[in-house]
Amino acid sequence: MYGNLTKPRRLQAMLMFSSLTMPFSVAADQMSATVPLDLEKPAHAAPWQRYSSWRQTDWEHFCNLRRGVAHPVSFIQTIDTPIKGDPVNGKKLVTTRKKGNCVSCHILPGASFPGNVGINISSIGKWGLPDEFLFNYVYDARIYNPRTVMPPWGTNGVLTKTEVMDIVSYLKTLTQPVKFDSPEQNPEKRPVPVETRDNLDEFENSGMFAVDLGEKLYTQKGPKGQSCQDCHGKPEKAFAKWATNMPKVEPRLNKVLGVEEFVTRHARVTTGAEYLAQTENNLGLAVYLRYLANGQPISINTSDMNTRIALRRGEELVSRKIGQFNMACTDCHVISAGKWIRGQYLATVVGMMDHFPTYRTSRGEIWDIRKRFQWCNVSIRANDLPPDAPEYGDMELYLTVKNNGRILSVPGIRH
Ligand code: HEC
Ligand code: HEC
Ligand code: HEC
């Protein structure tokens, strides 16, 4: 059971961490109970603060992955028809990012890279839809379709009634389908982005610096006088497969533990080094431990009862409607997968986990999977959680199991 350790260390560790009466064959879940982990402190810088360059609004009145605040509901709004709003203002609103930003999901005139998560409404004025229907669909589409992907623009307070009327007045003027100058502009024709760069070539992927850093940290003695190598020996041998089984349930912490949080908690009590979540050193070791298992298929074992319980929670979380936009992960990455939200192509669930942590060329930094979750929370205006939140653990497990069999390829590189 101390197979990852060199021989003398193995003995030392057995004495340190296990009782001598331990039976010979121990189930895998009980075995993890012997891995030294700090069980006291959070793995993130506390209190957690959202990245300062991200939108800072506190969406406390909307639910997130932790709090189930009831999203305000709505019934049909009665309005005077025909609606006489200001179509000029309506035209402005549909492309305004802070307002409906309708063009991120609908083809409408005047947008350079519209999306196609919603239907093409560029000639909706000819469809003969009643004003009251149009108003209410924009105000709160859940009236017609409780699971709609479209945010409830009126009920959630993004648009006022007057603004909705302006938008409806504008929509009624639209009679000609948009003609695109190039296929890139048309979300139905836009070429799907394919990542063809060699992610392990440092000239192609600046994220490769993390592998070098992780390799260095592995042999560096911590405040307790020992390095990872002192206990584990050659990393290529000790951790050739380990990362393919992560994340996993850690009963002592009552949560699913990812590689990053493991690094923080394990290092604290072994080398004594402090590698807080999403810091450079944490990412370095997390990238490195996965890099060692590159080329191996992800293989999370789901036979354990606790794992299955966490998976059920994960499934609920990814389909939970959250934030001011009232959207679920599945709205974008399942229902709308393969479509475009403005200029961004929506990834499907399969293929979204095998390359994390990933170097993001658009940001010039490495993001671990939890930072991606945080960003996808904030982008739909839901409060993010700390990186080591148990909810993210359940979701990471659920999504990783969907990627079982996919080949680890870390650090990834993405836009
Ligand atoms: C996150 C994506 C998204 C955004 C942003 C969005 N919509 Fe939609 N919209 C949809 C989807 C998806 C549908 C298809 C029906 C459904 O799921 O309810 C839809 C349907 C509609 C319809 C109904 C058309 C019909 O006849 O069925 C109208 C009208 C509409 N949207 C207008 C708007 C306007 C106006 C805005 C901006 C204020 C907007 N949408 C923003 C996703 C979006
Ligand atoms: C004092 C000795 C010691 C040091 C130092 C140490 N470890 Fe460990 N490590 C252990 C023991 C004991 C286990 C549990 C038995 C096993 O899996 O070999 C373990 C297990 C692990 C595992 C497998 C965990 C699992 O889920 O089964 C990984 C990965 C690991 N260590 C990585 C590291 C890294 C990275 C460092 C440096 C930051 C490090 N270790 C430093 C003793 C140590
Ligand atoms: C409004 C749409 C939207 C919602 C809702 C959303 N995301 Fe995303 N997500 C994106 C966009 C846009 C990207 C960047 C393009 C891409 O890779 O799909 C992205 C990227 C990702 C990626 C990286 C994919 C890759 O291959 O690198 C992951 C993982 C992810 N999202 C997970 C989630 C999870 C988990 C949730 C729910 C908490 C969620 N997303 C909710 C829009 C969304």
Rounded to an integer, what distance in angstroms lies between the CA atom of residue 412 and that of residue 389? 23
pLDDT at 22 over 80: no
Assigned token pair, 358? 């990933």
Instruction: Give, using CA atoms, the residue closest to atom 7 of ligand 3.
Output: 376
Nearest to 94 by CA among 122, 67, 71: 122
pLDDT at 29 over 80: no
pLDDT at 8 over 50: no
Averaged pLDDT score across all residues of the chain: 92
* Confidence label for 16 from pLDDT (cuts 50, 70 and 90): very low
Give the pLDDT confidence score for residue 112 in this predicted structure. Answer: 87
Give the pLDDT confidence score for residue 3 in this predicted structure. Answer: 47
pLDDT at 13 over 60: no
For range 220-239, the mean pLDDT: 97
Rounded to an integer, what distance in angstroms lies between the CA atom of residue 339 and that of residue 192? 9
Task: List all residues whose CB is within 6 A of at least one atom of ligand 3.
Answer: 318, 327, 329, 331-333, 341, 344-347, 352, 358, 372-373, 376-377, 379-380, 395, 414
Give the pLDDT confidence score for residue 4 in this predicted structure. Answer: 53
Distance 119 CA to ligand 1 centre (A): 7
For range 277-302, the mean pLDDT: 98
pLDDT at 402 over 70: yes
For range 288-304, the mean pLDDT: 98
Q: Which atom of ligand 1 is nearest to the CA of 327?
A: 1
Give the pLDDT confidence score for residue 69 in this predicted structure. Answer: 86
For range 226-249, the mean pLDDT: 97
**Residues 6+ positions from 307 with CB-CB distance below 8 Å:** 248, 249, 300, 301, 397
pLDDT at 72 over 90: no
Rounded to an integer, what distance in angstroms lies between the CA atom of residue 257 and that of residue 273? 19
Between the alpha carbon of residue 16 and those of residues 13, 34, 36, 72, 269, the distances in Å are 5, 10, 9, 54, 12
In degrees to the nearest 10, what's the CA dihedral of 84, 85, 86, 90? -140
pLDDT at 26 over 50: no
Distance 148 CA to ligand 1 centre (A): 9
**Residues 6+ positions from 271 with CB-CB distance below 8 Å:** 221, 222, 223, 224, 226, 227, 228
Between the alpha carbon of residue 214 and those of residues 207, 237, 241, 260, 263, the distances in Å are 12, 16, 17, 12, 11
Best residue for ligand 3 mutational test, from 376, 391, 399, 403 (most atoms within 8 Å of Cβ): 376
Give the pLDDT confidence score for residue 70 in this predicted structure. Answer: 82
Cβ–Cβ under 8 Å, residues 159 and 150: no
Give the pLDDT confidence score for residue 310 in this predicted structure. Answer: 98
For range 251-255, the mean pLDDT: 97
Q: Any idea which of 95-104, 271-280, 377-386 has the lowest mean pLDDT?
A: 95-104
Rounded to an integer, what distance in angstroms lies between the CA atom of residue 249 and that of residue 122? 49
For range 203-219, the mean pLDDT: 97
- Is the alpha carbon torsion for 246, 251, 256, 258 positive or negative? negative
Phi, psi of 181, deg, nearest 5: -75, -30
Rounded to an integer, what distance in angstroms lies between the CA atom of residue 399 and that of residue 356? 12
Give the pLDDT confidence score for residue 5 in this predicted structure. Answer: 55
Please confirm whether the linkage preceding 411 is cis (ω < 30° from 0). yes
Best residue for ligand 3 mutational test, from 105, 370, 372 (most atoms within 8 Å of Cβ): 372
Give the pLDDT confidence score for residue 6 in this predicted structure. Answer: 52
* Confidence label for 18 from pLDDT (cuts 50, 70 and 90): very low
> Using one digit for the tens of pLDDT, what is the confidence trace for 104-161?
999 999 888 999 999 999 999 999 999 999 999 999 999 999 999 999 999 999 999 9
Q: Is the CB of 34 under 6 A from ligand 2?
A: yes
pLDDT at 19 over 90: no
User: Within its chain, how far is the Cα of 56 from the centroid?
Assistant: 18
